[in-house]
Amino acid sequence: MFKNVLGLIDATAPAEELGALATGRCLPAVPFGGKYRLIDWSLSNMANAGIDNIAVFTSEISRSLLDHLGSGRDWGLYRKRDGLTVLAASKDVYVPYLLRNPRKYVFCMKGNVIANIDMQKMLRQHLQTGADVTEIMSGHRSLEAYLLEKDLLLEILDSPYDHHSRHFEEMIREHPLGLNVAAFQVEGFAEKISTVSDYYQTSLKLLNPELQRTVFSSVRSKKRDDPSTLYHAQSVVRNSLIGNGCVIEGYVENSIIFRGVKIAKDAVIKNSIVMSHGVVGRSAYLEHAIIDRHAQILDDAFLQGTPERPLVLPKEIIISPEEYHHANRVYSI
């Protein structure tokens, strides 16, 4: 059945509301859940449903996204025919691509949804209702993911709107002929990550092992070669999700620690998210903070946000007790 469906992940959606987490990367490439990137759920949902042709549209060459996707092998999308394609989101590129693609239906997602979507069921419903567009909903919230015929998509894209400044969902809603849009309710946990608050709250929800079972049950990601995480004699870790390749000597509570993070003796990390390859020095203190990749929190540094407004620190930042260094500039604290 899915031989007739093209998966389309629009990675061009703006991500300003993710603040520092979106600098230098597009929304679907934002790291999430201790080892993943947001796009992993969209890709896995499609690949698990048997969609073996997925195109990712990017507005700029996103190194982190390309590096993550590779050949698509980790999602079973490395094929001689079809498989995974990354396209520049320019009309000259994707319109001919879509015209040439023989598949009748298109699944469009933005690559920022954390959910297990039964796409087979959704396609069946779409065919039964005869709707122009089927929209994935979680309760009353739209997950901004759509199923429609490719020809209709091309027609929408060909409309006189300047769609570089508009979102696809607006174009559907404001279609001049008025489209028949049906809702498909997704079952179970479903979150759309658009803001820092979404990101922080949804991340911390993963500290529930029951929820982990659902959220992680079928998601695939790029395979890595980190060794297992090493705990030292002094380490104390409670209620936390820990990626591979970490070396932990300090205290970690209610936190998500990504791959390859080093946490020194007497460091304290609470209610925080530390992304890959971060280094947290001796007696450093982090609470309600989101630390992007490759950050160095030096000895004795103190960082504290609030549950409502977690501190967000960009990647490759260096923080000492007195000052912080970022992008070749030095700021005092």
Partner 1 sequence: MNMTSCIAVVLAGGEGKRLGELTRRMAKPAVEFGGKLRLIDFPLSNCANSGIHVAGVVTQYEPLMLHSYIGAGNPWSLEVTLLPPYVQKGGGDWYQGTAHAVYQNMNFIERYDPEYVLILSGDHVYKMDYAKMLEFHKQMRADVTVSVIEVPWSDASRYGIVNTDRDHAIYEFEEKPSTPKNNLASMGIYIFNWSVLRSYLHNDMNQKDSSHDFGKDILPGLLNNGKRMVAYPFQGYWKDVGTIRSLWEANMDVLDHNFTLHDADWPIYSVGCNVPPHYIAPEAIVRRSLIQDGCLIYGEVDHSVVFSNVFVGEGSSIQNAVIMPGARIGRNVTIDRAIVLTDAVIEDGAIISGRDVSDGIVLAGDQQIGYKLA
Chosen residue from 31, 72, 243, 278 binding partner 1 by CB under 8 A: 243
- The residue range among 50-58, 150-158, 160-168, 208-216 that interacts with partner 1, by the rule CB under 8 A, is 208-216
- The residue range among 115-123, 153-161, 206-214, 298-306 that interacts with partner 1, by the rule CB under 8 A, is 206-214
Chosen residue from 97, 189, 231, 302 binding partner 1 by CB under 8 A: 231
Least Å from the CB of residue 179 to partner 1: 37
Query: What is the C-alpha to C-alpha distance for residues 286 and 278, in angstroms, rounded to an integer?
Result: 12
237 lies in the binding site for partner 1 (CB under 8 A): yes
Chosen residue from 113, 133, 147, 242 binding partner 1 by CB under 8 A: 242
Token output for 189: 């946990």
Q: Are 138 and 144 in contact (CB under 8 A)?
A: no
The single-letter DSSP state of residue 97 is: H
Question: 125 or 212: whose CB is closer to partner 1?
Answer: 212
Chosen residue from 212, 214, 283, 320 binding partner 1 by CB under 8 A: 212
Closest CA to 38 of 132, 98, 131, 113: 113
Least Å from the CB of residue 67 to partner 1: 15
Query: Residue 30: CB partners within 8 Å, gap ≥ 6?
Result: 15, 18, 21, 22, 37, 38, 112, 193, 199
Token output for 145: 């993911």
Least Å from the CB of residue 283 to partner 1: 20
Query: Residue 16: CB partners within 8 Å, gap ≥ 6?
Result: 22
Chosen residue from 233, 308, 327, 328 binding partner 1 by CB under 8 A: 233
203 lies in the binding site for partner 1 (CB under 8 A): no
Question: 206 or 319: whose CB is closer to partner 1?
Answer: 206
Token pair 């992940």 in the structure block, residue:
9
Query: Between residue 25 and residue 84, which ones bind partner 1 under the rule CB under 8 A?
Result: 33-35, 74
DSSP state string for 284-324: -EEESEEE-TT-EE-TT-EEE--SSS-EEE-TT-EE-SSEE
Query: What is the C-alpha to C-alpha distance for residues 220 and 288, in angstroms, rounded to an integer?
Result: 28
Least Å from the CB of residue 228 to partner 1: 3
Least Å from the CB of residue 61 to partner 1: 24
Least Å from the CB of residue 292 to partner 1: 17
Provide the pairing of β-strand 31-32 with 141-149: unpaired
**Any idea how long the chain is?**
333
Least Å from the CB of residue 237 to partner 1: 5
Least Å from the CB of residue 274 to partner 1: 12
The single-letter DSSP state of residue 181 is: E
Chosen residue from 205, 220, 294, 325 binding partner 1 by CB under 8 A: 220
Residue 197, Ramachandran bin (φ over 0: left; ψ between -120 and 50: alpha; else beta):
alpha
Chosen residue from 221, 271, 276, 296 binding partner 1 by CB under 8 A: 221
Instruction: Give residues in contact with partner 1 (CB under 8 A).
Output: 33-35, 74, 207, 209, 212, 216, 219-221, 223-225, 227-245, 247, 256-258
